[in-house]
Amino acid sequence: MDDPKTLVSTEWLEAHLKDPDLRVLDASWFLPAMNRDAKAGYAEAHIPGARFFDIDEISDNRSELPHMAAPIEKFVSRMRAMGVGDGHQVVVYDQAGIFSAPRVWWNFRLMGKMDIAVLDGGLPKWIAEGRETEDLPPMPRDRHMTVQRQAHLVKDVTQVAHASKLGDHEILDARPYGRFIGQDDEPRPGLRKGHIPGAKSIPWDSLLNADATMKSPDDLRALFAAAKVDLAKPAICSCGSGVSAAMIALALERVGHLNWSLYDGAWAEWGMYNDLRIATGEA
Phi (first) and psi of residue 265, to 5 degrees: -70, -35
Q: How is residue 226 annotated by DSSP? A: H
Contact (CB, 8 A) for 238 and 179: no
> Of these residues, 196, 236, 239, 283, which one is catalytic?
239
Q: How far is CA 59 from CA 71, 94, 211, in A?
A: 7, 18, 30
Size of the chain in residues: 283
233 residue type, one letter: K
Q: Is 239 a catalytic residue?
A: yes
Helix 101-110 crosses helix 245-254 at what angle (to 10 degrees)?
Answer: 70
The dihedral region occupied by 256, where left means phi > 0, alpha psi between -120 and 50, and beta the remainder, is left
Cα 20 to Cα 15: distance, rounded to the nearest angstrom: 12
Spacing of C-alpha 252 from chain mean position: 12
Roughly how many angstroms between the first and final C-alpha of the chain, as a whole number? 33
197 residue type, one letter: P
Cα 38 to Cα 44: distance, rounded to the nearest angstrom: 10
Q: How is residue 34 annotated by DSSP? A: G
Catalytic machinery residues: 239
